[in-house]
């Protein structure tokens, strides 16, 4: 079995881990985006294809959180609307970049977000979260900016959303985690449409990845295992380092 076949077989497994991690916090695209690139997709097509799995994963996660009564919906359009507008702009910027620049951008973001992960941002959020009154002058530009980032690259946007929801909008950590999945679902559908129009989606790989992500999201939404999440996080750190090196080296397997 050659390396390409092994990578292809690993796609749904990678999707499962990514769906699990994304639903709990974020950073799952640190796994899915690099494996699509290593399978030979151009970076911009990998960026678009990655959104298929994100959509399927969040459909499952949102349904599970809502069924359990853990999804706060009141007034959320004030956060979702600017995030969607930003995502459309971010996706449009991404499709216009050339492949070499996009690969380098992804590599830099991998390293930056690796540092963020090592600083345990979820712990920081949990320790400092406090109830706050909604502030449109803060929330609209904040969630527009997060939407631009998510539309552009998607990687670890969940972490930024958690910070925005808890520190910027005053949600509890539990409510923010559930709402994060809804916001990502809505703005990713908008971003995916941009990539589809620009023919930058490889549907077979996207659906294969998405099947794994949906399964991972279902498990994560029903089971909270702290030690398991910590082990997954360690694996993501290792894969991030390897992926960043591969991206900068221009590796193709």
* Distance in angstroms (rounded) separating the CA atoms of residues 158 and 155: 8
* Distance in angstroms (rounded) separating the CA atoms of residues 151 and 154: 6
Range 212-233 average pLDDT: 70
Name the band, by pLDDT with cuts 50, 70 and 90, for residue 81.
Answer: very high
Name the band, by pLDDT with cuts 50, 70 and 90, for residue 123.
Answer: low
Count H helices, E strands: the chain? 11, 0
- ∠ Cα 18 156 154 (to 5°): 90
Percent of the chain with pLDDT over 90: 36
pLDDT at 15: 93
- Which structural domain range is residue 102 located in? 3-249
| pLDDT tens digits, one per residue of 137-187 | 888 999 999 999 999 988 778 878 887 887 778 777 777 888 989 999 999
pLDDT at 34 over 60: yes
* Distance in angstroms (rounded) separating the CA atoms of residues 241 and 105: 15
Largest CA distance in the chain: 57
Number of domains in the chain: 1
Q: What is the DSSP letter of 70?
A: -
Rank 1-10, 57-66, 100-109, 120-129 by mean pLDDT and report only the highest.
Answer: 57-66
Range 3-16 average pLDDT: 83
Name the band, by pLDDT with cuts 50, 70 and 90, for residue 252.
Answer: very low
| pLDDT tens digits, one per residue of 54-75 | 999 999 999 988 888 878 888 8
Contacts of 69 (CB under 8 A, 6+ apart): none
pLDDT at 10 over 70: yes
Contact 121, 159 (CB under 8 A): yes
């Amino acid at each position: 079995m050659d390396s390409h076949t092994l990578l292809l077989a690993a796609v749904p497994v990678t999707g499962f881990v990514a769906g699990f991690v994304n639903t709990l916090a974020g950073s799952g695209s640190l796994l899915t985006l690099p494996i699509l690139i290593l399978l030979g997709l151009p970076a911009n097509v990998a960026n678009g294809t990655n959104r298929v799995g994100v959509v399927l994963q969040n459909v499952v996660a949102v349904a599970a959180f809502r069924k359990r009564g853990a999804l706060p919906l009141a007034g959320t359009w004030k956060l979702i609307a600017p995030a969607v507008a930003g995502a459309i702009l971010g996706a449009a910027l991404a499709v216009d970049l050339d492949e070499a620049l996009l690969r380098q951008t992804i590599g830099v973001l991998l390293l930056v977000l690796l540092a963020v992960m090592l600083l345990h941002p979820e712990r920081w959020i949990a320790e400092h979260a406090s109830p706050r009154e909604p502030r449109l002058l803060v929330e609209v530009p904040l969630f527009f900016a997060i939407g631009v980032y998510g539309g552009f690259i998607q990687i670890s946007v969940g972490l930024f959303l958690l910070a925005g929801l808890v520190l910027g909008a005053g949600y509890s950590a539990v409510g923010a985690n559930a709402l994060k999945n809804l916001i990502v679902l809505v703005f990713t559908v908008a971003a995916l449409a941009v990539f589809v129009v620009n023919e930058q989606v490889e549907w077979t790989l996207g659906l294969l990845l998405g099947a794994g992500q949906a399964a991972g999201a279902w498990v994560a939404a029903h089971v909270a295992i702290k030690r398991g999440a910590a082990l997954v996080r360690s694996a993501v750190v290792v894969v991030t380092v390897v992926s960043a090196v591969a991206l900068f080296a221009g590796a193709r397997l």
